[in-house]
Chains A and B, each alone.
Chain A
Amino acid sequence: MSVSTLVPAAWWARLGQARRRTFLGYLFLSPWLVGLLAFTLFPILAVFGLGFMEYGIFGRPTWVGLENYRDILTNDRLFLTTLGNTLYFVALSVPLSTVIGFLLAVALNTRLIGQTLFRTAFYVPSIVPQVAAVLLFVWLFHPQIGLINFALDLLGLEGPNWLGRPQWAKPAIVIMGLWGVGGGMIIYLAGLQSIPQHLYEAAEIDGATEMRRFLMITIPLMTPTLFYNLIIGIIGSFQVFVTAYVATQGGPLNSTLFYVLYLYRYGFEEFRLGYASALAWILFLLVLALTVVVFRSSSSWVYYESGGER
């Protein structure tokens, strides 16, 4: 398995050490480099190009210039609906899952009896396969015999027809996502455990209250982790698809027609691949812009030790 079986020995012998290293480095990277070209760079360029074309399932793609974009922005009445739905979902689910995940982690990071048990209880729902989880929640959200409305009934509240009413379907889908908050919790927990204990001890000796220690030590030292999760959370929730596809198919009255579901319909149900590509490119720019904004803002709230190593 040595390199000499792959390349002419004489040529290899003439190479200097540095050249050999470079050759080997790229050789090892080559699967990834090929994959990068085929599965990432090519698709990004192609989706940009396809956005300017009309491309049905049969026949050849034809150039239509900016027509797809013009249609999306001026004629497509559902585009704004779907954008609004998606922003609603992102605006609700990202902060909620961050706050809940973080608070759970803080609670679990105290001296607890049965800490592992608690950690498992909160984490396990996040590994339940998504489709199974959605089926389960469709059952839990059943308007007449669902467990959730039964619980609300016990509290004296009348539960809504969750997935059947436009104003309740989106919150229901947010709740489904929050069930999986345990994954984020584990990340926060790891972050909390890596905060040096002596900082807290020093602050305690100086007479800092617990609240103050939380605000002045825990929060600042957790900002890099929070930042990372925020970015991943935004990118992920902009692409919400499976929950809506399985639970509601975008209904009722398009109230859960999220962006990717809409794109999927154009791409794989109506086979208007050019139009769907234009939609994809718009989403890409949107997510990119938002990511850049969050990155920009990070210098004012993300705290890096030793003067920002990144």
Chain B
Amino acid sequence: MRVAESVNLPARAGPSWRYRRSTRRVLRMSAVHLALVATGFLFLLPLLWMVSTSLKSLTQQVAWPPEWIPQPFVWRNYPDAAAFLPLVRYTLNSLTITVLFVIGTLLSCPLIAYAFARIRFPGRDFLFIVLIATIMLPGVVRLIPTYLMFRQLGFLNTYLPMVLPAFFGSPLFIFLLRQYFRTFPEELADAARMDGASEIGILYRIFMPMSGPALAVITIFAVQSQWNDFVDPLIYLNKEKMRTLAVGLYYFRAYQDTTNWGQMMAAATMMTAPILILFALFQRYFIQGVALTGMKG
């Protein structure tokens, strides 16, 4: 078995009792590998199935037993799905919201995080606790009053309810950036102040250029949050033309009887692909970012 052989390869020098146990060790390690290969496969199978279905003809979609390789490849499911519902339009809508949200996030969060991290003033520590409490607040509590507020402001059927809050900072992103800023030595800001730099100057000329990874993380999180968001577009947008991709996809389920699984999976693939591409490009930041959110604070 290949896996077992390669486990054996890095023969480690150590006390002799290690060698006596090594057979058991190799057996156990290959068992772990096998189990992980099996479960890993199980986790990826649905994704492969999604793409595979999206390329199948109508008859092959319902074949029993299921067939893995589309034959022939039916690329038409993609344009057909985009004709069934205006997916291109929805994609552009989602993209608009996402881009505006990211801009708002990048304008507001560094400023706020910098004050929490590096400016000393009375009330700061208390407000920081408030910030953390709001991270844990169940979002559904504010759903109805916020809806009424935006309705009162005439924001229904605009992208403002999704986009506007970003310009006031998102608690989780502020928290992550603040933690990152705190890792810079205190003297860094102090020395710049001695040289007469303003706080804004310190933030934009020193802190921001050094915070590429953290900014990448919050950008990715922001993109994900808006690309996937379902509830807000559902309640704030009821003009069909304004729908986002997430809500648009729901209508494939709602109109299931008039479409087919190939088109439905084509639409799902179209929505998933950008996120997977983003992941392929910026894998490190995805993983680091998620790991960071778990650090105690």
A interface residue numbers (CB < 8 A to B)? 1-3, 21-22, 24-26, 28-29, 31-36, 38-40, 42-44, 46-47, 50, 104, 107-108, 110-113, 117-125, 127-140, 144-145, 147, 150, 179, 182-183, 186-191, 224-225, 228-229, 231-232, 235, 238-239, 241-242, 245-247, 260, 263-264, 267-268, 273, 276-277, 280-281, 283-284, 287, 291, 310
**Closest B residue by C-beta to A235:** B138
Question: Which one of B32, B49, B124 lies within 8 Å of A136 (CB-CB)?
Answer: B49
A68→B37 CA distance, assembly (Å): 53
Shortest CB distance B246–A (Å):
5
Are B141 and A31 in touch, CB under 8 angstroms?
no
Bound state CA distance, A174 and B262, in angstroms?
Answer: 25
Q: Looking at the complex, which one of A128, A147, A232, A246 makes contact with B275 (CB distance below 8 Å)?
A: A128
Is B138 in contact with A284, judged by CB distance below 8 angstroms?
yes
Instruction: Indicate whether A40 sits within 8 Å of B137 (C-beta atoms), given known contacts A47-B144, A138-B253, A150-B66.
Output: yes
Partner of A108, one of B36, B64, B234, B296: B36
A241 touches B231 (CB 8 A): yes
The smallest C-beta distance from B70 to any residue of chain A, in angstroms, reads: 15
Verify B141–A29 contact, CB threshold 8 A: no
**Which one of B72-80, B115-123, B210-218 contacts A?**
B115-123
Closest to A287 in B: B138
Q: State in angstroms the CA–CA spacing of A123 and B167 once bound together.
A: 30
The residue on B at minimum CB distance from A100 is B39
B106 within 8 A of A: no
Most buried by B among A104, A110, A131, A260: A131
Query: In the complex, what distance in Å separates the CA atom of A38 from the CA atom of B116?
Result: 20
**With a CB–CB cut-off of 8 A, which chain A residues contact B231?**
241-242, 264
Taking the nearest CB of chain A, how far is it from the CB of B22, in angstroms? 13
Interface size class of B (residues with CB under 8 A): 35 or more
- Closest-CB distance, B208 to chain A (whole angstroms): 13
B200 within 8 A of A: yes
Question: For residue B200, which residues in chain A have a CB less than 8 angstroms away from its CB?
Answer: 1-3
What separation, in Å, do the CA atoms of A39 and B167 have in the docked complex? 12
Residues of A within 8 A of B47 (CB): 124-125, 128, 136
B46 touches A263 (CB 8 A): no
Judging by beta carbons under 8 Å apart, are A113 and B134 in contact? no
Cβ–Cβ contact B144 & A273, under 8 A: yes
Q: Within the assembled complex, what's the spacing in Å between the Cα atoms of A224 and B295? A: 9
Report 19 cross-chain contacts, Cβ distance below 8 Å, ordered by A residue.
A21-B121, A25-B119, A31-B111, A39-B142, A39-B165, A40-B142, A50-B145, A112-B32, A112-B36, A124-B47, A127-B286, A130-B246, A131-B228, A131-B250, A179-B43, A232-B136, A267-B147, A280-B144, A310-B296
Assess the B141–A283 pair: CB atoms within 8 A. Answer: yes
Q: What is the distance, in angstroms, from A63's C-beta to the closest C-beta of chain B?
A: 16
Q: Is the CB of A127 within 8 A of B50?
A: no
Q: How far in angstroms is the closest Cβ of chain B from A153? A: 8
Give chain A residues whose Cβ lies under 8 Å from the Cβ of B127.
Answer: 29, 33
Contact in complex: A273, B265 (CB < 8 Å): no
Bound complex: CA A35 to CA B111 (Å): 14
Q: What residues on A are CB-neighbors of B66 within 8 Å?
A: 145, 147, 150
A-B pair number, CB within 8 angstroms: 270
**Nearest chain B residue, comparing its CB with the CB of A2:** B198
Tell me if B55 is interfacial: C-beta within 8 Å of chain A. Answer: no
Residue of B140, B147, B235 contacting most chain A CB atoms (<10 Å):
B140
Expressed in whole angstroms, the minimum distance between the Cβ of B255 and any Cβ of chain A is: 12
Contact A35 B165 (CB under 8 A): yes
> Is the CB of B139 closer than 8 A to any CB of chain A?
yes
Is the C-beta of B283 less than 8 angstroms from some C-beta in chain A? Answer: yes
Chain A residues with Cβ below 8 Å from B134 are 36, 40
A246 to chain B: which residues have CB within 8 Å?
A: 230, 250, 253
Q: Which chain B residue has the least Cβ–Cβ distance from A280?
A: B141
Q: Are A28 and B201 in contact (CB under 8 A)?
A: no
Are A122 and B296 in contact, with the CB atoms below 8 A? no
1/0 per residue, CB under 8 A from A, across B266-297: the answer is: 01110110011001000100110011111110
User: Which B residues, 221 to 279, have Cβ-Cβ distances below 8 Å to chain A?
Assistant: 224, 227-228, 230-231, 234-235, 246-247, 249-250, 252-253, 261, 264-265, 267-269, 271-272, 275-276, 279
Task: Please state if B40 and A118 are interface contacts (CB–CB under 8 Å).
Answer: yes
- Taking a contact as CB atoms under 8 Å apart, the answer to whether A32 and B291 are in contact is no
Return A74 CB to nearest CB of chain B, in Å: 22
Give the distance in Å from the alpha carbon of A121 to the alpha carbon of B45 in the complex.
Answer: 10
Choose from A46, A136, A287 the contact partner of B50 (Cβ within 8 Å): A136
